[in-house]
Chains A and B, each alone.
Chain A
Amino acid sequence: MKMRDRVDHLSDQELVLAADGELSGERARHLAGCESCRARGEKLKNAASLVRMHPQLPAADFARMRLRARLVEAAAEPDVEQFWLRPWYGVAVGAMALMAILGILVRTHRPYEVPSPRLTPGAARTMDRDTLCNATLPKNQMVPADLRQRVFQAYGIADADPRKYEVDYLITPALGGAEDIRNLWPQPYVSTVWNARVKDELEDRLRDLVCGGRLDLAEAQKAISTDWIAAYKKYFGTERPGR
């Protein structure tokens, strides 16, 4: 009989569950009718209160005021989620880094359809129209090797294949352009629509217009040095080169 009583009584673990209202069925009915179990349950509850700490705590006023101020501040900030904690963030960062590297590589070998205004603003000799038109001026005079190399370096393509580029005069000597690094840039022969051969066509057209008295020399120089592609479209009346 004694053994049976011991088996039927609730274990301490069951008493913990009972305190949380998580005991049901037969065991809950036993507890309701067993004074001994209820007394043990009370002892366990009281035991929990014995381990409660009683430190001297500062009044809550200051802490509450501080929290209120911080909440107001937090509410005013945009709700930016800490997305770097998300699993996809690492993948996204990796992809962006790869794109940035590819971008640098592409830029390194990017064909320069138009020169950098900073590196190649254009430079011209002082020359009037009659002198220009009566002189036999080369369309593209040879650029010295060291100057060519400086141009390539300035554009960050020092190791590029020189056969693929013409180090071109932005303002052609045939229009008074100077042999000056500020008037030179590496223009690709092929691979782009607006290549060196297309610009040669423009240079011929502008010289014809200037020497034919239909275009002011300074205006021609300005047009070709500001945006030679726009100038081509304007003086050929087309959006794309013919060949």
Chain B
Amino acid sequence: MAEPEPWEDDEPEGPVRKFMYVNRRAPYGTIYALESLEVVLIAAAFEQDVTLVFMDDGVYQIKKEQNTDAIGVKNFSPTYRALEGYDVEKLYVERESLESRGLTTDDLIVPVQVIDKDQVAELMEEQEVILSF
């Protein structure tokens, strides 16, 4: 089999590690949701194996129809829709966190996989680097 041309060799250089971003905070009340998202976007260039999990108040980050005009703060929720374009596709939401807040996936701005807390725990166990803000 012929050697791949340089432009065909898509493999990232260096190790690929499993990174998880744990999002547990509501948006706007603090900056953690926004600045966590900024890490994910920058990190995309490093082509690591990235998983995002939204749990506890973090599920509110991806709630539809955020209108921030009257609080004078930029609505950054559309940015979650850009994640797919950055090859960040493993988005999980914890079922118990959604349900206890009276939300369903219909309320969310991006497609996500809903998993229960035990599955979240298992997913966490698989990671190598877990970032929380």
Decide whether A and B are members of one complex: no
